[in-house]
Chain A
Amino acid sequence: MDKVYSKDPRVSSILSGTSRLVESALTVDYGVPREEALRLEQELFVWFDRLSRRPGVPESQRGLRSHLISMTCKVGHVYWCGRIGDVPTDERVKRSLALGPEIIAIELEKRVETLEDPNGETCPAQ
């Protein structure tokens, strides 16, 4: 069980509920090496904790969570953009880069929602 620390229970709840997804997105969807993924994950969580205290963030847990997922995909995408001449060989990573972070973020959100609500019922905004 992962442990995350934030003073805001809403943020803590999102981080503990999505840490596996974030890790899997970075390592599997974007093929980031595990050690690097761990460092990025930590940066993502610190950034997200501060983001949650900015004005202009949605009030619902679901809306707020979408920002973490979206930034995770942007970070995974930028990881490869920064590696000039280094082309991924993994088909899944190639697909992620071809579709772009916005589409992958939508897929990941659907994955979380399916995990939360396997019967496919609409999750009300909190």
Chain B
Amino acid sequence: MPGSVIQFPWKDGSLSPDEARERAVGILATPQNARLDQSSELRLEDPEQLLSVCELLRTMADVEPAQARGEAEFFFRFLESPRRSIGVFDEREYYLGELALIAGTACRVLAKRDEARHWFDLSEANFVIAHNASAHIARLAYQRLALRLEEREFTRVLQLAPRWVECFVRLELHEDALKCRFLEAIALKETERPEEATRALEQIKEEAKTQRLDRLAAIAGQNLFQIHAFSGREDQAIAEAQEAAAILGRLNNRVNLAKLQLGVGYLLRGQHRLAESIEAFRVAQRQFSEIEMHADVASTHLVLADLLLDAGQPAQAEWEIRAALPIIDELKLIPEGIAALSLLRDSLRRREIDRHALRNLNGYFEDLGS
């Protein structure tokens, strides 16, 4: 078509990427019921706008995961039923797959694991018929692997992560490859291989910085902070924490800021500064509670109980445990934790807390940080 001019549609009335982003922010600020009433004015089916909505929701999952989950579900249901024709070619399947992936990821962060798996299945059923399916299925595999890590299936993670790293490299998805290496590093950390974990995290941090992936660099730093804190390397721990906090604060990444605050509690506990440590854990707990990360709230109750026993306050410790138990029950958190949980229940019934059971249970709540 020599000499012809191909104009992009936003030249004749469709939304440009900038307009779409601005409108997407407005849509997310509109209550969901009102959105449905104004769906044509808001152009909820506009593919350019949906692209911006997905981008905003991915960021929201680090700030307010419960809200991100609710919004992703809203848009998924809206597109799915009644069946709406979205954009051109594979766009309907892509957006359904992407929204389900975002909902599943947010559920994973919230420790709603069965629900996360359900969303991942829905995502797969759509991605598999979208263009570039192999890349999207690989992205989904990363989330499933992260879920396995949270369920403490470390051997499986260590087996699978290097294979997915290779897939991501071949697909030219270097950020995803780095995220997969991150899962491997955390599995090393959790399997008592701190030196290997430290080396891996340092490499990830450096590569993330080179690729200007600030979020990933900060989360690697946050994990290095924890390793240094547990190993008594206070200066290194503090330096990592300060660097990570500056980035996470700038990104308003509330999920990882709360995890960083938890690390501060561990650092202070390692320094035998009991009262300050308890206060630091309480601050972290409030932060988790504000963003509805109930599993982390429960885990912090157990850490506090342990500390309060050290401080000679068994009644308060018992209160902390009692506060954690319903959450653990409701979220059916970790199958292996159930034994420890029933042991703890028995010991509470006898009004005598079993420290071993308490620590066993708390061990299953170690945070992932990705």
Contacts and interface: CB of A to CB of B under 8 A. Distances in A.
Interface of A: 1-7, 15, 19-20, 23, 38, 41-43, 45-47, 49-51, 53-60, 63, 67, 70-71, 74-75, 125
A38 B1 CA distance: 8
Given A2-B1, A43-B88, A49 B6 contact: no
A6 B98 CA distance: 23
Contacts of B91: 47, 50
Interface residues of B, number: 34
Which of A3, A15, A54, A63 gathers the greatest number of chain B CB atoms within 10 Å? A54
Contact of B6 (A41, A50, A71): A41
Nearest to A53: B51
B172 A49 contact: no
Contact of B132 (A42, A45, A57): A57
B172 A59 contact: yes
B131 A125 contact: no
Contacts of B89: 43, 47, 71, 74-75
Contacts of B174: 59
A71 to B, nearest CB: 6
Nearest to B16: A7
A110 to B, nearest CB: 19
Interface stretch (B7-15, B34-42, B201-209, B321-329): B7-15
A45 B6 CA distance: 9
Interface of B: 1-9, 11, 16-17, 47-48, 51, 55, 58, 87-89, 91, 94, 98, 131-132, 135-136, 138-139, 171-174, 176
Contact of A2 (B2, B17, B48, B138): B2
Given A58-B173, A71-B89, A46 B8 contact: yes
A25 to B, nearest CB: 13
Which of A41, A43, A50 gathers the greatest number of chain B CB atoms within 10 Å? A50
A51 to B, nearest CB: 7
Contacts of B51: 50, 53-54
B100 to A, nearest CB: 14
A125 B171 CA distance: 12
Contact of A5 (B8, B58, B136): B8
B131 A71 contact: yes
Given A3-B6, A56-B173, 17 more contacts: A2-B5, A6-B8, A7-B16, A7-B17, A41-B6, A42-B9, A43-B89, A46-B8, A47-B91, A50-B47, A50-B51, A50-B87, A50-B91, A54-B94, A56-B139, A60-B172, A63-B172
Contacts of B94: 54
Given A50-B91, A71-B89, A23 B1 contact: yes
A112 B294 CA distance: 54
Contacts of A45: 6, 8
B134 to A, nearest CB: 9
Nearest to A42: B6
Nearest to A45: B6
A15 B251 CA distance: 34
A55 B1 contact: no
Contacts of B9: 42, 46
A41 B8 CA distance: 11
B78 to A, nearest CB: 19
B172 A5 contact: no
A38 B7 CA distance: 12
A47 to B, nearest CB: 5
A19 B87 contact: no
A19 to B, nearest CB: 7
A2 B4 contact: yes
23 contacts: A1-B3, A2-B4, A2-B6, A3-B5, A6-B8, A7-B16, A19-B6, A38-B4, A41-B6, A43-B89, A46-B9, A47-B91, A50-B47, A50-B87, A51-B131, A53-B55, A56-B135, A56-B171, A57-B132, A58-B172, A67-B131, A67-B132, A74-B89
